[in-house]
Structure 1
Amino acid sequence: MGLHPADPHLKGTGRFLGDDDHPGDSDSQISEAFVAECVNQIAKSPYWRHCAIIITWDDSEGDYDHVPPPLRALGPDGHWLSDGPRVPLLFLSPYARTHYIAHASGDTASVVKFIDSVFGLVPLADLPAEAYARRLGYKRYHQANLGPFDDKTSQITDLTCCLDPARLMGWAAPLPPSYALISEKLIHHLPQQTGIGWRWAGVEPVDRQRHLPNVIPSDFNPRP
């Protein structure tokens, strides 16, 4: 995963001591180690039996994605607003499906929709205060549905597809914490120190595939 902020390799460097995962402010390996430690603490605790851990990002940090983002809403000027490039989302729970990749469309509203579904809550978008704010937004900006999207985007998943019905119904045993636990060796050491790198994972970085060109569109902007 990466280096822990207290790792001796970092002492005296004076750089990248943050764990917020923002480029320029932190180091991705430090922030990944921070997330791994949080997951381990929850998995080892009594709360694992009742939890769902959702790990995602709010933007792509400038990484290129070959799949065009969908168009979901119109801006105040009448032009379409697109979602940003895709970002990863990991769902960990004793009631999760194993070896499963969800192909449903989602965005940050999916996390709120999941909470709405699990606890039977009135969506944020349907609260009286939001109805007033939407009317005000339409009056000022001529744009409908400004505000929370947890009940305004029916095409967005609520992430319940990540749950295994058999485990929810008690027909199959919940997953043990070992499914989520990450080795301390991986957290506190770099891949080249563990021998578990891209070769171990069965992948090959594009820049090492010398026989395949890495074609980047001329208009691609790497800045997030």
Structure 2
Amino acid sequence: MINLKYQRLEQRLGYSFNDQRQLQLALTHRSHGASNNERLEFLGDSILNFLIGEALFLRLDEAREGQMSRLRSQLVRGDTLAELAREFELGECLVLGEGELKSGGHRRDSILADAVEAIIGAIYLESGLDTCRERVLAWYGDRLDAISLDTSAKDPKSRLQEYLQAQRQPLPEYRVVEVGGEGHAQVFTIECHVAIAKQSTQAQASSRREAEKQAAAAMLKLLKL
């Protein structure tokens, strides 16, 4: 039986599974039971690292090993994968245990990132490496196009602070808007405000520090930096 929610997700992914049960498995967190996406996540993580490494190798002729390793780390880290997951609106499709449902697990970066890796693993098993490569490169298109050897390794908070200091502007202010979830699995909503921006930015993550980084990244994007 076709699940319309999964069908809409497949449209956003640009890939339709022959058996939607494989997509459901990729979206099933370990909190739901023994049948979950951990093995697919393991496989997808390996494939993603290879495909992004290959893409950087082919794009950056002058790059040294250390430079490519740094850039790959930026592209495959959890917060980048969580961004992709949110672009796919993947959270609404996750299959979670009752505890994770109550604590906002569908918004948690680590769970979202793991699900993206699991989907990559599932696509590989069903359609092979070439299809996997085509999808991953499509998902990462804008990010790969923006990469260069000059891409900063500094986190968004540091970049935003240094930019404002160079402009002789007040430092950014980070405010906790909401703390949801239970004590062991909290979700922080953080707002970032800077004097030179007409609006604030917000982000959610499972730690205050990570939420601040994501809010800073959104502010950098808003300021077109």
TM over 0.5: no
TM-score for both structures, normalised by structure 2: 0.21
TM-score (structure 1 length as normaliser):
0.21
The structure having more radius of gyration, on CA atoms, is 1
Q: Which of 1 and 2 has higher RCO (CA within 8 Å, sep 6+)?
A: 1
